[in-house]
Amino acid sequence: MMKKYISYFFEGLAFLLAFVFASCASVPRVIFPQDGIYSYDFDRYVENVELAVIYKAYGMEAFQIIQKKSVGNAVYMQGGSFIEPETGIMISISALGNVSSPDNPSISGKYKRNGEFFFQGYYEENSQVLKIAIKGILLPTDASSRASSKYNGDFVLVDNGTERKQKVKIENGIYTWEYEDKQADDFTTWPTLVAPDGSIHCGFEMTVHTGVKGASDMVVSSKNESFGKVTPDGTISLKTLTKNSGTGQSGASEEITFNGTRGTENLNQITKDESDDSSVEKYFTKKRKPIQNQVKENPPEWYSDFIDNDEEYIYGSARKTFDDKNSALKIAEITAASQIKMTLSSEVQVHSEAKKSMSQDDSSGTKIESSFFSAVDSFSKINIPYVVKNSFYDEKTKTAYVVTALSRAEAEKLLSKAVSNK
């Protein structure tokens, strides 16, 4: 009899486990990150690495740094990937939050579930190596947080200053536009979110700092802010405030107003083929630029465009194709070292918060502010004690490969110093 009860017990247990596993299997797995439209606000830091190396060959210290802060942008996430608006690089986010790029293997970073992200890498523009680091907030939006379909449509806006016409499309709470008469110096337009009440707000601040030590030093800043509203009955009013200041700039503000209506002129009547190609998803993917940093030949076994940091070291890596061996190696080395500096800059906030939580005076209301730009600047002005772990120049492809490393002990000293100076 006891054996019979034991048999019933195990049969029941087996049934229960099967039921539990079946129930768990029926629960849909949450995909991260989810597909859809995301808000994308950021701080961007760009450094012209190659410029510094070229001038150094002539005994001069030169630099060119661009800092940009932007709000109100939108990107479309699909399959864990989106097109970064300014560079046109496809950015991919894994289920673990790791950031990479199928377009550019030097891109690496991290995305947190609260929307915070940081990634960095390097790319070439006008045949020069640029080091880029982007930190910001990337958050999903739902239909209730964007303008509804009653705001959709094709609009024509007229600039009251230049009389240039803008073609505007609003769809799924996204505002996109371009000039009717495109010109070579027009900037690349970005998608902007439209709020549920039809209000629009976006803008950026940018500073370009260029100089040669002992010879020249130029700082130019631009601030651009747009705000306005679209109504369900098909009208748009928009105001843009622009101010340029710094070297050679007057510092005066300029206000431009735009007014327009929905679908009232032939230039905005689009064909079916154009309509199919102007959907939200396809609009974003059209902004994708050609793949960069492709490896023409097999690199050394020890080389990778992204090397995971470990408990002992923070790594940087880079490659540069250049006919002159020494120049190629130097450009790659400085780029790899800059990668370490950017990593340190992104960690300043973490150390600042840790210091704040441990502070005995925290109850006094003292707040430790953290700035990505100031952190980058602080590290850019010091020579970090990195070492070149490996370097190689491939004579066949004229490509230099370099890996640099900074010990964790030295990194902690630098981070502590950076935080204490804030």
**pLDDT above 70: residue 286:** no
Measured distance CA(182)–CA(187) in Å, rounded: 10
CB contact set of 89 (below 8 Å; sequence gap of 6+): 83, 101, 103, 104, 107, 123, 288, 289, 292
Residue 153's nearest CA partner among 171, 165, 166, 167 is 171
Query: From residue 17, how far is each of 12, 28, 267, 345, 357 by CA, in Å?
Result: 9, 19, 65, 49, 45
Q: Where would I find the beta strands (DSSP E) of 304-363?
A: 313-321
Q: What is the pLDDT at residue 388?
A: 96
Residue 298's nearest CA partner among 392, 362, 194 is 392
pLDDT band at 287 (very low <50, low <70, confident <90, very high): low
Q: What is the mean pLDDT of residues 341-368?
A: 53
Q: What is the pLDDT at residue 421?
A: 62
Which uninterrupted H or E stretch holds 66? strand 62-77
Q: What is the pLDDT at residue 281?
A: 63
* DSSP assignment letter at 182: -
What Rg do the C-alpha atoms of the chain give, in angstroms? Answer: 26
What sign for the dihedral angle of Cα 319, 406, 100, 280?
negative
**pLDDT above 80: residue 367:** no
pTM equals 0.76
pLDDT band at 140 (very low <50, low <70, confident <90, very high): very high
Over residues 98-133, the pLDDT tens digits come to: 999 988 888 999 999 899 999 998 888 877 888 899
CB atoms within 10 A of CB 310: 10
Q: What is the pLDDT at residue 383?
A: 78
b (16+ CB within 10 A) / e for 361-394: eeeeeeebebebbebbebbbeeebebeebebbbb
Choice among 183-192, 195-204, 207-216 with the minimum mean pLDDT = 183-192
pLDDT exceeding 90 applies to what percent of the chain? 27
Q: What is the pLDDT at residue 254?
A: 84
Q: What is the pLDDT at residue 5?
A: 43
Q: What is the pLDDT at residue 88?
A: 85
Q: What is the pLDDT at residue 394?
A: 93
Q: What is the pLDDT at residue 329?
A: 94
Q: What is the pLDDT at residue 399?
A: 92
**pLDDT above 60: residue 33:** yes
Over residues 51-98, the pLDDT tens digits come to: 888 888 778 888 888 989 999 999 999 999 999 988 888 999 999 999
Burial of 13 per CB tally in 10 Å (0-12, 13-18, 19+): exposed
b (16+ CB within 10 A) / e for 60-92: eebbbbbbbbbbbbbbbbeebbbbbbbbbbbbb
pLDDT band at 296 (very low <50, low <70, confident <90, very high): low
Residue 82's nearest CA partner among 99, 105, 95, 68 is 99
The two three-digit tokens of residue 227, written as one number = 């705000």
**pLDDT above 50: residue 360:** no
Q: What is the pLDDT at residue 214?
A: 81
What is the three-class DSSP state of 96? coil
pLDDT band at 263 (very low <50, low <70, confident <90, very high): confident
What is the three-class DSSP state of 23? helix
CB atoms within 10 A of CB 307: 20
Give the DSSP per-residue string, 364-418.
Answer: GT------HHHHHHHHHTS----EEEEEEEETTTTEEEEEEEEEHHHHHHHHHHH
Q: Are strands 235-246 and 253-262 parallel, antiparallel or unpaired?
A: antiparallel
CB contact set of 411 (below 8 Å; sequence gap of 6+): 314, 344
CA 13, distance to chain mean position in Å, is 52
What value does the mean pLDDT of the chain take?
79
Residue 287's nearest CA partner among 18, 6, 61, 90 is 90
Q: What is the mean pLDDT of residues 320-344?
A: 89
Question: Which of 19-28, 67-76, 209-218 has maximum average pLDDT?
Answer: 67-76
Question: Which of 52-56, 152-156, 283-287 has maximum average pLDDT?
Answer: 152-156
CB atoms within 10 A of CB 258: 23
Matching residue, tokens 């989106």: 82
**pLDDT above 70: residue 271:** no
**pLDDT above 50: residue 363:** no
* DSSP assignment letter at 324: S
Over residues 375-414, the pLDDT tens digits come to: 777 676 677 899 999 999 999 999 999 999 999 999 888 8
Peptide bond into 290 cis (omega under 30): no
CB 384 within 8 A of CB 341: yes
Q: What is the mean pLDDT of residues 155-173?
A: 84
Measured distance CA(32)–CA(51) in Å, rounded: 39
